[in-house]
Structure 1
């Protein structure tokens, strides 16, 4: 059930060097909240200085026993950093929110219910699930969370190539086509001990990704303690293209829904967490699981 919430402080995190309009949007949100909120919380802007800095800023903002709202003015990758920073702080009174900026804003687009400043003034907080991935971390390393999806196979390979080049719809399309033409499938050992080959394996907490692809007919608010598993077994490339086209036009239909999924890598394998690319070593047991209702959010 939603609960009305006031905040002692509101911390707005953004990338001042964003190719989009993040600095302007962050300042606008700051000014709107100062005008709209009657109980006068401390509202501060926190620009990032380098990749990964949003994790530190969010963790510092959320540490303690205060009621704090941490807002990410960003795309999915920037929000991923803020979510992970807040989770590391371990403060149940800390709430997350995202104001869409940048190139990819799937989470905000799918889960948003109203303009963010209105939602903050209203103060209705809800808890949503996160995806949690275990990739053989040491005990002293924090667990990694995803707010929307984790993908193995084609998606992280394409994302890596996109990061190397310039942005822009036409250039992105050319990059995707070139990368797809050279893409090779990957093999994993599943929990039943059998090896299987895939073109793509995506664990989704929302029903759409990459702006246009409808992965599943699941509920748009990720709060059921499960996630969808979207599998592209290895197939001829023309069939992969047809499947991708179906995802962008009519959707892929209902997908299996689980609370956890395990497999073992056979070779080093890139993967994508909310648009950010990571790599897991060979012979590592990977476990993706739902972390039910662990993130208080607003918006």
Structure 2
């Protein structure tokens, strides 16, 4: 469903200490919007001051009510914070957008249709699905949302290692090889009560991740009311490498598509949401669900 929208206010959120060019891109976007929009919304630059600050800024901007657009000038992790802040605000008229200024930029690469300033000027808003994850939150605590994927096992372990050093193709490759050589599988109890051991378990709302890997052949992402489950059962490391190579060259092909998935952790388990690494405790029932058409977006 598409609708043309004029925005009363536009908040542009960015990390001023970004290793990329987020501050420059944010300033350029503000200038372009002031020059191109046929109406005159309030357009503010809102730099973050610490980890998690983008959630607070986005929640505050969206909670003002009315037709507000919250733009994240960032990579996938920064956009994850903005999406969660907007979802917490509970404003059904709030709209999100992302301008790529990170390392992988998977979401923008897959879902972007035109230059962001053009999309905002046209005001064509569309609804996309999100992934929600329940990791033992108490009643009243906000759920966590992912715009692209949630990964357990090898995915967050590699991500944590990459964050320790500088970005770059060679650095990334060396980090992945070192981490992979030390990686151990993880166990969970599936919804049927069986214990299973995996090397990787990914819930994907888009068909690609980490710039190079094609996870599935689904064509309706991310607005089909379902997500794909990509499972690497525990296997010899050489087979994992071959599977990963297939993902980066020809893709993994069709994958199971579901609207929810449940399992119970056996030990504390790290997981990655759109580049952000978190941890769920042992003996926790984890539930991943599709939140159909939960996010309004332009771009």
TM-score range, shorter chain: over 0.9
* Aligned residues of 1:150 and 1:203 also touching (Cα < 8 A): yes
Q: Do structure 1's residue 285 and structure 2's residue 292 form an aligned pair?
A: no
Alpha-carbon distance in structure 2 between the residues aligned to 1:222 and 1:263: 23
TM-score (norm 2): 0.99
Alignment of 1:85-100 (within 5 A): 85-100=85-100
Q: Match of 2:77?
A: 77
Q: Match of 2:59?
A: 59
* Aligned residues of 1:154 and 1:183 also touching (Cα < 8 A): yes
Alpha-carbon distance in structure 2 between the residues aligned to 1:104 and 1:166: 14
Alpha-carbon distance in structure 2 between the residues aligned to 1:117 and 1:221: 23
Q: Which runs of 5+ in 1 are unaligned?
A: none
SS of alignment partner, residue 200 of structure 2:
strand
Once the two structures are TM-superposed, the CA of residue 102 in structure 1 deviates from its matched residue by: 1.5
Q: What is the aligned length?
A: 299
Once the two structures are TM-superposed, the CA of residue 220 in structure 1 deviates from its matched residue by: 5.4
SS of alignment partner, residue 87 of structure 1:
helix
Once the two structures are TM-superposed, the CA of residue 141 in structure 1 deviates from its matched residue by: 2.0
Q: Match of 1:145?
A: 145
Alpha-carbon distance in structure 2 between the residues aligned to 1:221 and 1:199: 25
Alpha-carbon distance in structure 2 between the residues aligned to 1:17 and 1:229: 35
Q: Do structure 1's residue 247 and structure 2's residue 224 form an aligned pair?
A: no
* Aligned residues of 1:99 and 1:108 also touching (Cα < 8 A): yes
Q: Match of 2:111?
A: 111
Q: Which runs of 5+ in 2 are unaligned?
A: none
* Aligned residues of 1:110 and 1:220 also touching (Cα < 8 A): no
* Aligned residues of 1:74 and 1:98 also touching (Cα < 8 A): yes
Q: Match of 1:182?
A: 182
* Aligned residues of 2:228 and 2:255 also touching (Cα < 8 A): yes
Alpha-carbon distance in structure 2 between the residues aligned to 1:246 and 1:256: 18
Q: Which aligned segments of 4 or more residues in structure 1 are displaced greater than 4 angstroms?
A: none
* Aligned residues of 2:73 and 2:98 also touching (Cα < 8 A): yes
Q: Match of 1:227?
A: 227
Once the two structures are TM-superposed, the CA of residue 67 in structure 1 deviates from its matched residue by: 0.6
SS of alignment partner, residue 107 of structure 1:
helix
* Aligned residues of 1:127 and 1:293 also touching (Cα < 8 A): yes
SS of alignment partner, residue 96 of structure 1:
strand
Once the two structures are TM-superposed, the CA of residue 171 in structure 1 deviates from its matched residue by: 1.5
Alignment of 1:118-197 (within 5 A): 118-197=118-197
Alignment of 1:8-27 (within 5 A): 8-27=8-27
Alpha-carbon distance in structure 2 between the residues aligned to 1:128 and 1:216: 18
Alpha-carbon distance in structure 1 between the residues aligned to 2:41 and 2:220: 31
Alpha-carbon distance in structure 1 between the residues aligned to 2:221 and 2:25: 25
TM-score (norm 1): 0.99
Per-residue CA deviation, residues 135-159 of structure 1 (Å, 9 max, x unaligned), is 0012232110000000000010011
* Aligned residues of 1:259 and 1:290 also touching (Cα < 8 A): yes
CA RMSD of aligned residues (A): 0.7
SS of alignment partner, residue 136 of structure 1:
coil
Once the two structures are TM-superposed, the CA of residue 162 in structure 1 deviates from its matched residue by: 1.1
Alpha-carbon distance in structure 2 between the residues aligned to 1:166 and 1:91: 37
* Aligned residues of 1:208 and 1:214 also touching (Cα < 8 A): yes
Once the two structures are TM-superposed, the CA of residue 167 in structure 1 deviates from its matched residue by: 2.0
* Aligned residues of 2:205 and 2:228 also touching (Cα < 8 A): yes
